[in-house]
Structure 1
Amino acid sequence: MDKKLKILIKKANSGDRKSLELIIIEIESLVYNLSLKMLLFPEDAKDATQEILIKIVTHLSTFNHQSQFKTWVYRVATNYLINYKGKKSVEFAMPFEDYANLIDSGHSNIVRYTTNDGELSLLEEEVKVSCTQGLLLCLKPEDRLVYILSEILEFNGNEGAEILGISSANFRKKLSRSRDKIRNFLDKKCGLANAENPCRCNKKIDFLINQNVINPKGLRFAEFTKRSIDLVNQIGNLEKSVAIYRSTPNVPPPETILKTIKETILLK
């Protein structure tokens, strides 16, 4: 473990509130982006992150230093997320078959919402991230976590199994199943994964705006990320399905999260 972080944990467990705040700042983005990948909607991810950070703060003394601190943080986070029912994520989650129908609907070769190149670029990125992240909601919660930990966050099988508290063999089995489902879907439906597919992100802009899936006046992802669409073909020899997810940069957590933690824990 990082020596500085180890010292901060020791001080925090002795009652040093400043050290506790520095620990939260260190892990806040990690927890938020895991929650966002798991839940898709920033509103749900923010609420989950606040609850997870409170759990970490109130159980910090139980960390036994036998594993990496961030591994322990991921364990606390995944234990919470596997049973968390975010309001919007639950409403949006659907079987793969229904998601395929959503992908096949509303293609248009003309974007009527705007002709501004800057807006079009942002909206295309918003569709790409929303669509591919939304696909993860088709997986069962534990299978989704397995895929996120391995394929996106790049934990190996032993590390992922330790985080989820399952055997390495079970982790690999779940990963294989989740990987096949995501790969097969993208290969059949996503134009980024397979150039022969008809779907392209810009063809879905008007439809997803009309369906209130994306809000052009309140973008969830595009304003924080670079053009990850353009990065997909630049990630070496990674298979396309993995490259699509790893190309999306992390999103900064809302400032209100730390403010809420301070009000509920740090300032007591």
Structure 2
Amino acid sequence: MKSKLNILVDKASSGDSDALELVVLEIQDLVYNLSLKMLLFPEDAKDATQEILVKVITHLSTFNHQSDFKTWVYRVATNYLMSFKGKTSKEFAMPFVDYADLIDSGQSDVIRYTTNEGELSLLEEEVKVSCSQGLLLCLKPEDRLVYILSEVLQFNGKEGAEILEITPENFRKKLSRSRKKIRNFLNGKCGLANPTNACRCSKKVDFLIDQQIIDPKRLRFAEFTQRSIDLVKQIDDLERSVAIYRSVPNITSPKEIMKTIRKTLLIK
């Protein structure tokens, strides 16, 4: 028996605009959160999401039902994200050694910006998500996608390989390399992953504000998620390096994405 989503896909493929809009509403958060994890910056993720959704819609007739529809959507998305160069994420991507220097710079036990506990809590969360997601940009695009699909989104090797259209063996090799790089970096630098490390999210608040990497008046993450820093310690069955990523909940995609899709494809 076909799922409700697959029935909507069939109707949308036959020209039903109402069904098409429901399909887009069903998958837009999925695409946006993958794009956000891949590109770090919401403005880049929004642009990528809009382009990916257009590709999904305009190629809907090529979906052959041989795989789950959402798996097919992930394939379309990853193919696009593999070569997408976000305006901001491209500039921020750097080698691991340079990112280590960024982590070591400007740590301070005193926060100058504010003493308000609520504001400090948001800023600390903003640092945590920005820093951990920014670390992923040190990986090559395909290696980054492998890590996100497996460690963050929890696809198994067969599913991940199907999405990226590579062999399961190749997927496992790439995952092993990416996992090692991320784990070693976090265990060597991050106080959340390894309490013996000096760095704490609170110590980086002023520096990242001064460097204009985070904007306290326009937070990218903290206002849209629960405080994931506290969740890391509660995920006992995972190593800390993985828990840091899985603790971040999905973020609702911006409303303007659907408005743009309606305008682009003339969905009423």
* TM-score, length of structure 1 as denominator length: 0.99
Counterpart amino acid of residue 223 in structure 1: E
Kept after mapping to 1: 8 A contact 2:226/2:249: yes
Q: What is residue 227 of structure 1 aligned with on the other side? A: 227
Kept after mapping to 2: 8 A contact 1:21/1:266: no
Instruction: Tell me how far apart the structure 2 counterparts of residues 47 and 2 of structure 1 sit (CA, whole Å).
Output: 32
Q: What is residue 23 of structure 2 aligned with on the other side? A: 23
- Give the 5 Å matches for 1:92-131: 92-131=92-131
Instruction: Tell me how far apart the structure 2 counterparts of residues 36 and 43 of structure 1 sit (CA, whole Å).
Output: 9
Q: What is residue 185 of structure 2 aligned with on the other side? A: 185
Structure 1 runs of 4+ aligned residues shifted over 4 Å read: none
Quote the offset at 1:2 in angstroms: 5.6
**C-alpha distance after superposition, 1:48-67 (max 9, x if no partner):** 00000000000001000000
Q: Which secondary structure does the structure 1 equivalent of 2:233 belong to?
A: helix
Relative to structure 1, the CA distance from residue 2 to residue 125 in structure 2 (aligned partners, 3 Å threshold; closer, same or farther) is farther
Q: What is residue 259 of structure 1 aligned with on the other side? A: 259
Kept after mapping to 2: 8 A contact 1:191/1:200: yes
1:80 corresponds to 2:80:
yes
Q: What is residue 151 of structure 2 aligned with on the other side? A: 151
Kept after mapping to 2: 8 A contact 1:17/1:266: no
Instruction: Tell me how far apart the structure 1 counterparts of residues 6 and 90 of structure 2 sit (CA, whole Å).
Output: 38
Instruction: Tell me how far apart the structure 2 counterparts of residues 115 and 174 of structure 1 sit (CA, whole Å).
Output: 44
Q: Which secondary structure does the structure 2 equivalent of 1:87 belong to?
A: coil
**C-alpha distance after superposition, 1:154-174 (max 9, x if no partner):** 000000000000000000000
**C-alpha distance after superposition, 1:52-107 (max 9, x if no partner):** 00000000010000000000000000000000000100000000000000000001
Counterpart amino acid of residue 142 in structure 2: E
1:163 corresponds to 2:128:
no
Q: What is residue 203 of structure 2 aligned with on the other side? A: 203
Q: What is residue 3 of structure 1 aligned with on the other side? A: 3
Relative to structure 1, the CA distance from residue 2 to residue 189 in structure 2 (aligned partners, 3 Å threshold; closer, same or farther) is farther
Quote the offset at 1:237 in angstroms: 1.8
Relative to structure 1, the CA distance from residue 158 to residue 185 in structure 2 (aligned partners, 3 Å threshold; closer, same or farther) is same
* TM-score, length of structure 2 as denominator length: 0.99
**C-alpha distance after superposition, 1:191-230 (max 9, x if no partner):** 0000000000000000000000000000000001111000
Instruction: Tell me how far apart the structure 2 counterparts of residues 2 and 131 of structure 1 sit (CA, whole Å).
Output: 41
Gaps of 5+ in 2: none
Counterpart amino acid of residue 177 in structure 1: R
Kept after mapping to 2: 8 A contact 1:82/1:142: yes
Instruction: Tell me how far apart the structure 1 counterparts of residues 267 and 13 of structure 2 sit (CA, whole Å).
Output: 16
Q: What is residue 43 of structure 1 aligned with on the other side? A: 43
Quote the offset at 1:4 in angstroms: 1.0
Quote the offset at 1:129 in angstroms: 0.1
Instruction: Tell me how far apart the structure 2 counterparts of residues 129 and 198 of structure 1 sit (CA, whole Å).
Output: 18
**C-alpha distance after superposition, 1:116-139 (max 9, x if no partner):** 000000000000000000000000
Counterpart amino acid of residue 70 in structure 1: K
Counterpart amino acid of residue 254 in structure 2: P
Kept after mapping to 2: 8 A contact 1:150/1:157: yes
